[in-house]
A = this chain, B = another copy of it.
């Protein structure tokens, strides 16, 4: 395994050190008799721009300064300090939490958050200040997706540390949660990753042995992929050097599932660990509806509106995006992954998949 990133243990140590440095800086200012300042990149819309080099949204140079000498800043500063304390506890004890859970936990400390939006916002502040994701400090999404394929991992979480599992062990797939996210990758014979929007197709791919026939690690997205799944896909790409192919329904929403894996979202412009810029949207394309004569439905108004939005989105410059958006507009049709079943259940695996991988230079 190429190791291009920190091990889970090194990463945890680094995150704890960052959190502690954040605390020491505040103490330091207090000891020098200064009311503490916190300076961080602004996340306001006028400071978010798309970076063609990074191939994701990123923050500009604008900074904001929160000062304890400003009475209006006292509340968010107190909340931020508590948040840093709380996630330090989580990370040190290797317990995990969710955004919702953190909101309620604050009440155990008499820290007032008006609502969850407010606590979510403070967590995002902390991500921005520390330059890491909330998953790094053990705040995980509620949603879960899954993976299946020839990859042996080694756990780093308590009670499982050092244990290994090959991800073909369970043919329905294993969930991508905190344990898998923080596991070390030990060994694989796979040479690509295939991510699939839907559960039925994920199972079909396993039944038809796509993992062996195409040497693929299969990821089930479950619609828009949870952040930890995007992080996991990035790791498969960066640490193992595996190309990533994303299969979705042929509609603007499926296209965007692929795009968020590739280039992330504007909401996450302050983090860099959730994108896989080299991942490819492999289908189902609008042009496939035509060339494979797939059963389709008429685009609805809301689909067309969405396509117009995507046309103006900087992430959608270039191909295959422009070509496919224009094809959607021209044919006014959409279709689903399952539509290939009109040619028999295994057509998608036997014919479409190998042809598409070839088209994409596999």
Does A220 touch B at the CB level, under 8 Å?
A: yes
- Starting from the known contacts A101-B200, A144-B173, A172-B178, 12 additional A-B residue pairs (CB-CB under 8 Å) come to A97-B345, A98-B199, A98-B338, A100-B338, A104-B338, A105-B342, A107-B341, A108-B343, A144-B146, A144-B172, A169-B169, A175-B220
- Shortest distance in angstroms between A155's beta carbon and chain B's nearest beta carbon? 7
Contacting residues, chain B, for A160 (C-beta < 8 A): 171
Contacting residues, chain B, for A173 (C-beta < 8 A): 144, 174-175, 177
Cβ contact within 8 Å between A159 and B171:
yes
- Interface positions, chain A 158-193, Cβ under 8 Å from B, are 158-160, 165, 169-180
* CA of A95 to CA of B51, assembled, Å: 45
Does A204 touch B at the CB level, under 8 Å?
A: yes
Does A295 touch B at the CB level, under 8 Å?
A: yes
Q: Which 3 A-B pairs have the closest CB atoms?
A: A172-B177, A98-B200, A107-B342
- Shortest distance in angstroms between A292's beta carbon and chain B's nearest beta carbon? 12
Nearest chain-B residue to A102 (Cβ)? B341
- Shortest distance in angstroms between A55's beta carbon and chain B's nearest beta carbon? 29
* CA of A185 to CA of B170, assembled, Å: 15
Cβ contact within 8 Å between B200 and A336:
no
Known: A170-B179, A174-B173, A204-B96. A344 touches B108 (CB 8 A): yes
Does A326 touch B at the CB level, under 8 Å?
A: no
- Interface positions, chain A 103-149, Cβ under 8 Å from B, are 103-105, 107-108, 140-144, 146
Contacting residues, chain B, for A343 (C-beta < 8 A): 108
Does A198 touch B at the CB level, under 8 Å?
A: yes
Cβ contact within 8 Å between B176 and A341:
no
Contacting residues, chain B, for A350 (C-beta < 8 A): none
> In the complex, which of the residues B107, B144, B204, B338 contacts A222, with contact meaning CB atoms closer than 8 Å?
B144
Interface bin, chain A:
35 or more
Known: A171-B155, A345-B105. A203 touches B143 (CB 8 A): no
* CA of A222 to CA of B200, assembled, Å: 17
Does A157 touch B at the CB level, under 8 Å?
A: yes
- Interface positions, chain A 316-352, Cβ under 8 Å from B, are 336, 338-345
Does A306 touch B at the CB level, under 8 Å?
A: no
Does A28 touch B at the CB level, under 8 Å?
A: no
> In the complex, which of the residues B101, B158, B175, B200 contacts A172, with contact meaning CB atoms closer than 8 Å?
B175
Nearest chain-B residue to A344 (Cβ)? B108
Does A209 touch B at the CB level, under 8 Å?
A: yes
- Shortest distance in angstroms between A120's beta carbon and chain B's nearest beta carbon? 14
Does A25 touch B at the CB level, under 8 Å?
A: no
Contacting residues, chain B, for A142 (C-beta < 8 A): 198-200
- Shortest distance in angstroms between A223's beta carbon and chain B's nearest beta carbon? 10
Does A207 touch B at the CB level, under 8 Å?
A: yes
* CA of A103 to CA of B143, assembled, Å: 28
- Shortest distance in angstroms between A104's beta carbon and chain B's nearest beta carbon? 4
Cβ contact within 8 Å between B178 and A95:
no
* CA of A175 to CA of B145, assembled, Å: 9
* CA of A108 to CA of B343, assembled, Å: 5
Contacting residues, chain B, for A143 (C-beta < 8 A): 199
Interface string of A275-314 (1 = CB under 8 A from B): 0000000000000000000010000000000000000000
